[in-house]
Amino acid sequence: MKKTVLVLVLGFIMLLPTNVFGWSEHGLMTAQVIGSLSWVKDYNNITITPYTYHKYDNSVYNEKFIIKYLEGSVGDKTDALTILSIYSDEPDWDMDTDLNLSRFQILTGNSQGYRHQRYVAFGGLLRAGVAHKRVQHFYNLSRIAFKNNDAYWGFRFLARSLHFLQDLTQPQHALPAPNNIIIREIIDIRSFTIMCVNHHLTLEDYYQTTQIKNGNEEYIKTLREAKPARIRNPYKSAIIASRRARRLIGNLWNRMENFFGREISAKSRFNITQDELQLLLTNPAKQEARVKLDQTVLTALNLFSSYSKGLVEFARRDIKF
């Protein structure tokens, strides 16, 4: 029986789209989160330096990935908030695509999915993904750079570490659907996959992105006011963050259905335009459902902010930069 379930789950995961790997707009959200830490603005005279860490980073990356400097050129000045905000998006710039990392990467879609998720199902029977290890990997590089008096790469590696920790706070990256839905629907893998993709894309590419880009006050307030998580070990905290996010998947699934309608769980692709979403967001009949959905998304974003702040605060104490 267990074997059958495993094969079905593998088949289902292989059908997941390859472009679904975490919250949208890491940079915009990180700017709010880290901008709320008053001490960060003191790091405002940082010289942009060239990348000289090949010998310290033994991980493989996509050959097409090149280091870009979006805020200026080597030798120019920048500040910590700018570096942390811009480069918290960097791991999504094809760094981890088209790689052969593990025979288990197929469980998470592909190599990028493998590095950006930590997937645990059926009480630990099925595990895939190393996002928690990538949090620690880039944290270690950040320490090396700071110890080398290179604040630029110290903060830039810390931004990459933040990215992976933030990905782990997205509930759908810990479990694609609640257990009861998986058990009920897994027989028809193709339809089940469409159902999960509908929920996933609608949350990340429409709902969450729109609320952030609209500057929704509650969203901004949550990101700015979350209390820093107490972090003593980035690796262990990443695992705890993903466990906490996984607990939200049941509520998230139901509340997405209540707000967007049962069609989101239909066995065909669910599409919504930005105009339709704006109408839903202001529709008086939808306000109760919107408030409840916001509660769940904001709980996840509270984790996003809390763990991001916790990691940066921990780095400051631990690395003493």
Residues near Zn ion (CB under 5 A) are 21-22, 116, 167
Cα–Cα distance between 136 and 142 in angstroms, integer? 10
Cα–Cα distance between 1 and 3 in angstroms, integer? 5
Minimal distance, residue 113 CB to Zn ion, in Å: 9
Looking at the Cβ atoms of 111 and 265, the one nearer to Zn ion is 111
Minimal distance, residue 116 CB to Zn ion, in Å: 4
Q: Which residues pair with 46 in a beta bridge?
A: 78
Looking at the Cβ atoms of 251 and 305, the one nearer to Zn ion is 305
Q: Which residues are CB-contacts of 30 (< 8 A; sequence separation ≥ 6)?
A: 84, 85, 88, 159, 162, 166, 308
Looking at the Cβ atoms of 251 and 308, the one nearer to Zn ion is 308
Q: Which residues pair with 47 in a beta bridge?
A: 77
Cα–Cα distance between 68 and 50 in angstroms, integer? 10
Looking at the Cβ atoms of 133 and 292, the one nearer to Zn ion is 133
Looking at the Cβ atoms of 97 and 265, the one nearer to Zn ion is 97
Minimal distance, residue 19 CB to Zn ion, in Å: 11
Q: Which residues are CB-contacts of 40 (< 8 A; sequence separation ≥ 6)?
A: 34, 80, 81, 84, 312
Minimal distance, residue 265 CB to Zn ion, in Å: 25
Minimal distance, residue 303 CB to Zn ion, in Å: 15
User: Using an 8 Å Cβ cutoff, are 306 and 238 in contact?
Assistant: no
